Structure 1
Amino acid sequence: MERLQKVIAHAGFASRRKAEQLIIEGQVKVNGKVVKELGVKVSSTDRVEVNGIPVEREEPVYFLLYKPRGVISSVQDDKGRKVVTDFLLNIEQRIYPIGRLDFDTSGLLLLTNDGEFANLLMHPKSEIEKIYVAKVKGIPSREKTKSLEKGVKLEDGMTAPAKAKMLSMDKKKQTAIIELSIHEGRNRQVRRMFEAIGHPVMKLKRERYGFLTLHGLKPGDARELTAHEVKQLRTLAQAK
């Protein structure tokens, strides 16, 4: 189910704000009945009309992008910086990222025009595993990596249990490469977790999202998800 004004905007009839105005003015019908309330939600089977013209829904599409560093996880940026949709220029549908990766973080990011699917994956109860590889300053002790696994206290509360694995260390440069697996999706969570144990992140990459990986892709590459992959993600999110 999606908000009526969002469906109208996605179909290209008007901006979200203009779509709200059309609803308030009584120019929108759902299944033949005029709707004037902004809170109404519609499903894919509902018939929506604007001034008697049927609203054609976009076909849902799903993409996996290997987001490079230095790119904004958005569809536009008021500072003129590169955004993730710049790497999918030949897509007719109005796609947007599911969640976000920081400007300085690279790795696996999903994009879609399917709001229901995006909300399902981002819901806190979905708990889809996300695996990151971080290069950090200093070499964390086993005690500190265990604290990541138990949960660390951040300003917005304790993190859920995670999995941490030391991949390598450079004693001369005093840096370490650590793999961290989390199920949450808080803002800048991985960076904040490492800061909390005194080892700031120098470089960060999301290598896996559920069962999806970056295999065969280079930074800036994208591919469409298969129908089976989409179904698997739905099942994974709903199973939690």
Structure 2
Amino acid sequence: MRLQKYLAHAGVASRRASEQIVADGRVTVDGEVVHDPATDVGPGDDVRVDGRSVTPVSDTVVYALNKPAGVVSTAKDTHRRETVVELVPADGRRLYPVGRLDAETTGLILLTDDGELADLLTHPRYEVQKVYIAEVAGGPVGHDTVDALRSGVQLDDGPTLPAGVERMNERMLRITLREGRKRQVRRMCEAVGHPVVSLRRVKLGPLDVGSLRPGQWRLLEASEIEALRAAPVRTGADRD
């Protein structure tokens, strides 16, 4: 197994972050500092980060949580706000959220100790779909506005990719994204003159929020985790 994948499975960090940790010279294998994240390691190797031994977790856990408003999507918060990690039982595992929802956005978020899975679901090149329900202000949403959102909107960090947009009624939109920029749905709607009043994510890849009420969570079954791993494949992305 490649070193960055080994570290991700051990819950040290995502695969991308693990690559940087290796590049910074913080990792040793059998007592030797390693700088190449593609180095092969196995069960018999003594892998350490900053001198601490790390071992991949044999059984990955993934929680699906319906995030309430006001809860932040981080493992720790310097302002002592409630975090999504505090809403699920960690049982001694180092859990972290898969991507982020801003504090006032509600709905489906995943928490896991599997850094590789988190990377597969959040890296831009995999284009895993995310579905949101947005209630907007600014009067009735017209067909021209829907067409503009579908085609892509110019934001301060560049144009968005084409999006799936369905008008549920004059004030409600179902928006499907293939990218995950910061506050993207809110910024897109603001750009077309319809600021978001409330926003809820209802689906990530093949998984939907289902009957979970705000604040409720459930452990995913093995078949659901495998379906999440396959989600990038269905976009045609390269999984090297």
Alignment-derived partner of residue 144 in structure 1: 145
Deviations, residues 44-102 of structure 1 (Å, cap 9, x unaligned): 73522459996433232211111111010001111111100111134321010111001
Distance 1:58 1:147 in 2: 45
Instruction: Indicate the structure with greater strand content.
Output: 1
Alignment-derived partner of residue 213 in structure 2: 218
Distance 2:98 2:46 in 1: 26
The question of 1:48 aligning with 2:49 is answered no
Question: Aligned letter for 2:91?
Answer: I
Distance 1:198 1:182 in 2: 19
The question of 1:192 aligning with 2:191 is answered no
Q: Structure 2 stretches of 5 or more lacking a match?
A: none
Give the superposition deviation at 1:122.
1.1
The TM-score, its normalising length taken from structure 1, stands at: 0.81
Superposition pairs for residues 22-61 of structure 1, below 5 Å?
29-30=28-29, 32=30, 34-38=31-35, 40=37, 45-46=42-43, 47-50=45-48, 55-59=54-58, 60-61=60-61
Give the superposition deviation at 1:39.
5.1
Question: Aligned letter for 2:82?
Answer: K
Distance 1:67 1:205 in 2: 9
Distance 1:44 1:221 in 2: 38
Bigger drift between 49-58 and 112-121 goes to 49-58
The TM-score, its normalising length taken from structure 2, stands at: 0.81
Could you say what secondary structure the match of 2:187 adopts? helix
Choose 1 or 2 for highest CA Rg: 1
Assess, with a 3 A threshold, how the Cα gap between structure 1 residues 44 and 88 changes in structure 2: closer, same or farther: farther
Alignment-derived partner of residue 130 in structure 1: 130
Give the superposition deviation at 1:112.
1.0
Alignment-derived partner of residue 111 in structure 1: 111
Identity across the alignment (%): 36
Question: Aligned letter for 1:81?
Answer: R
| Aligned residue pairs, count | 221
Question: Aligned letter for 1:66?
Answer: N
Bigger drift between 212-221 and 41-50 goes to 41-50
Alignment-derived partner of residue 173 in structure 1: none
Distance 2:159 2:51 in 1: 52
Distance 2:131 2:231 in 1: 16
Question: Aligned letter for 2:77?
Answer: D
Distance 2:83 2:51 in 1: 36
Give the superposition deviation at 1:196.
0.5
| Cα root mean square deviation, aligned | 2.9
The question of 1:178 aligning with 2:173 is answered yes
Give the superposition deviation at 1:209.
1.0
Distance 1:53 1:197 in 2: 51
Question: Aligned letter for 2:32?
Answer: V
Could you say what secondary structure the match of 1:235 adopts? helix
Alignment check: 8 A CA contact 1:3 1:39 kept: no
Distance 1:144 1:52 in 2: 55
Distance 1:67 1:83 in 2: 9
Distance 1:201 1:90 in 2: 33
Assess, with a 3 A threshold, how the Cα gap between structure 1 residues 54 and 99 changes in structure 2: closer, same or farther: closer
Assess, with a 3 A threshold, how the Cα gap between structure 1 residues 201 and 29 changes in structure 2: closer, same or farther: closer
Assess, with a 3 A threshold, how the Cα gap between structure 1 residues 72 and 43 changes in structure 2: closer, same or farther: farther
